[in-house]
Amino acid sequence: MGSIKKARIRWFSLIRIFGLGMVLYYHYFKTRYAGGFVGVDVFFTFSGYLITALFIDEFIRRDKVKLWAFYRRRFNRIFPPLLLMVLIAVPLSSIANPDLRTNLTKQITATLSFTTNFYEISTGGSYETNFIPHLFVHTWSLAVEMHFYLIWGLIVYLVSRTVKSAKYFRTAIFSVSFVLFAVSFLSMFTQIKGLSEYSPIYFSSLTHGYPFFVGAMIGSFCGVGQSAQGFNQLTSRLTWKTPLIGFVVSALLLFGLGTRMKFDQASTYAYGILLGSLITGCLIIFARLLHDKAPNVAEPRFITYLADISYAMYLFHWPLYIIFLSYFNNNIKAVVAALIGSVIFSTLSYYYIEPLLMGKPVAYQKAVGGPLLFAMVILGVVTANYAVDAPHMSSLEQHLWVGNLYQDADQIQAVHAKVSQPKQTVPVSQTNYNVPQGISIIGDSVTLGARSYLLEHVKNSDINAEGNRRMDQAYDVLMNQQNNNQLREYVVICIGTNAFPDFKEQIDKIIHDLKKGHRLIFMTPYDGHADATYDSTKIAVYERTLPAKYPFITVTDWNKIASSHPEVFEGTDGTHFGGIEKGNILYTKGINDAIKTAGKKTVKA
């Protein structure tokens, strides 16, 4: 057993900063760094390590673990900056799109009760594709972390009551960590197949808890104050160069992993997050070794400062960013403003507010303590007022909801007319294939948002649209209409934003199973956040090749039209134009132009 060392390990600050940097880069420039969300798993792994190592130190020092003292320390560290973030973000949101305050009371309640992950799962929230991003969606990770503290703290406490030897305590902690790691990882791994949305398993404390236990296993080995004998022997054999090189290589690998992972890929959940946690484990071990092998090298004060405010930075960076993005409608300006604001508020939180709220004696307490508390009370009143007046549905969601209601009403009216009126002969096309005249449009939420305008401006059209619809689901709608002789001569498929890697197979299936006599039109999808690596972009590329292969297929390129008119998506999620008149006009014109072109071509024969 090694001797007791200082509790603060030099170079751990770099791990905190590195993880934060990955998350910020991802949130601010998602299309450039699509896998930066793995930075959250850096936090998870490091937390599992640090908490477990400190538990072991406490047991060796006192022969027991004080559970309530641990809970109190964690709450005092986590809650004050969280409360401050809410009290600042909500009043500041007054300069932004009011939709950001949708269901604000529920958002605040979930945030302060550490249940944001459950809230997002229960409301069908998506980590990447919400129409209007939630102000506090990023606190899902804080909820998962708090759940880990509660459960792991209790487990370690129970182990400490049954194991009296420090050696066996360390072994028991490692063993339990491994079992819980296996349960959590297998829970995620077995739920991947067939998922259309990965957010529920990403948000879940059960399926996304295993990075903590990767850290816990490492913590039971290399420790903070005291380490296992094997780790001490390893330390004695190395020079300072080996851990330094290992740390740099691990950091590069972790950053590179962030360039390869994507949120909507099954591989991310099969092995990507696990790989990120294991590389973070290597970072921890190499930093721990470097601390021992370079005892005379001091950590730069600036690095320590950034590590101190890193937690509060994580809390502030997201709400400030989406507020300023809505206000400026310019990403660079929003990033700069969010970074400046985050640094200022994080510094204020760590060095002034948190000590004051935790009752720590500080020199400035008499001078500024009263004014600071008074300011927080005022912010609390303003926040409560905004929460009470917040809308329960965003304007875009309202627009889609109304579209759904009208579509349902039209379908009920059509069924009623079919039942109550004498059977009438449905006009058929003049192509000798006995298919109904007109246009059948099968679309997703973008089509649903434009439905009313389309019905007025696309003659003799029938629209079937639904949010989050995929190509395989569009196929089912098409087959149902075709089997009931309801599929009209012109078939317009407006699907693709909700894409899967098997999109070619699904598109080819539609082409193959469409009966003779129809003219098929594909509208390429548009996602304002997508780059060339996204499946939605690849769908557009593939659909553009189809008219050359099939004379009865026409393509209307909404992807190109939309990308040429960014003003259509101001104040939206970058995919839905949500009733903006110019968006309706452009979208409808694209379909009408394609119908004219298709009319000059042959039908499927």
Phi first, then psi, for residue 281 (nearest 5°) are -60, -40
Lowest mean pLDDT among 51-55, 187-191, 320-324, 349-353: 349-353
Q: Taking 80 as the threshold, does the pLDDT of residue 574 lie above it?
A: no
What does the pLDDT average to over 230-244? 83
Overall residue count recorded for the chain in this entry: 605
Which domains, ranges and CATH numbers included, belong to the chain?
1-61+164-297 (no CATH), 64-139+304-392 (no CATH), 395-599 (3.40.50.1110)
Q: Would you place residue 128 in the very low, low, confident or very high pLDDT band (cuts 50, 70, 90)?
A: low
pLDDT for the residue 296 = 82
Span 3-27, pLDDT tens digits: 334 456 888 999 999 999 999 999 9
Residue 16's closest CA among 407, 474, 321, 350? 350
pLDDT for the residue 527 = 84
With both helix axes pointing from N to C terminus, report the angle between 166-190 and 210-222 in degrees, rounded to the nearest 10. Answer: 160
What does the pLDDT average to over 412-424? 61
pLDDT for the residue 331 = 86
Rounded mean pLDDT of the chain? 88
Q: Would you place residue 209 in the very low, low, confident or very high pLDDT band (cuts 50, 70, 90)?
A: very high
With both helix axes pointing from N to C terminus, report the angle between 229-237 and 273-293 in degrees, rounded to the nearest 10. Answer: 70
Residue 42's closest CA among 11, 14, 70, 81? 14
- Under the phi-then-psi rule, with left for phi > 0, alpha for psi from -120 to 50, and beta for the rest, what region is 329? left
Lowest mean pLDDT among 165-179, 225-239, 305-319, 520-534: 225-239
What secondary structure, in 3-state letters, does 152-185 show?
HHHHHHHHHHHCCCHHHHHHHHHHHHHHHHHHHH
What does the pLDDT average to over 298-327? 93
Q: Taking 90 as the threshold, does the pLDDT of residue 224 lie above it?
A: no
pLDDT for the residue 408 = 66
Q: Taking 70 as the threshold, does the pLDDT of residue 420 lie above it?
A: no
Span 589-603, pLDDT tens digits: 999 999 999 999 999
Q: For the chain, what percent of residues have pLDDT higher than 70?
A: 89
CA distances from 454 to 70, 570, 578, 583, 586 (A): 60, 21, 13, 11, 11
Q: Would you place residue 123 in the very low, low, confident or very high pLDDT band (cuts 50, 70, 90)?
A: confident
Identify the bridge partners of residue 520 per DSSP, sorted by sequence position. Answer: 491, 553
Q: Would you place residue 2 in the very low, low, confident or very high pLDDT band (cuts 50, 70, 90)?
A: very low
Q: For the chain, what percent of residues have pLDDT higher than 90?
A: 60
pLDDT for the residue 309 = 95
CA distances from 513 to 370, 430, 437, 471 (A): 74, 21, 19, 14
pLDDT for the residue 173 = 95
Give SS3 for 31. Answer: coil
Q: Taking 60 as the threshold, does the pLDDT of residue 103 lie above it?
A: yes
- The encoded tokens of residue 349 equal 């939180």
Greater model confidence, 434 or 323 = 323
Q: Taking 50 as the threshold, does the pLDDT of residue 1 lie above it?
A: no
Give SS3 for 105. Answer: helix
Span 254-289, pLDDT tens digits: 999 999 998 888 999 999 999 999 999 999 999 999
Lowest mean pLDDT among 6-10, 138-142, 176-180, 248-252: 6-10
Rg (CA), the chain: 28
| Most confident region among 121-130, 390-399, 486-495 by mean pLDDT | 486-495
What type of residue is 542? Y
Span 446-499, pLDDT tens digits: 888 888 899 999 999 999 988 778 898 899 999 999 998 889 999 999 998 776
Q: Taking 80 as the threshold, does the pLDDT of residue 132 lie above it?
A: no
Contact 258, 33 (CB under 8 A): yes
What is the C-alpha separation between 164 and 160, in angstroms, rounded? 7
Q: Taking 90 as the threshold, does the pLDDT of residue 363 lie above it?
A: no
Give the count of beta carbons closer than 10 Å to the beta carbon of residue 165.
11
What does the pLDDT average to over 164-177? 91
Which residues, at least 6 apart from 3, have a Cβ–Cβ distance to it below 8 Å?
226
pLDDT for the residue 207 = 97
Residue 490's closest CA among 545, 434, 430, 439? 439
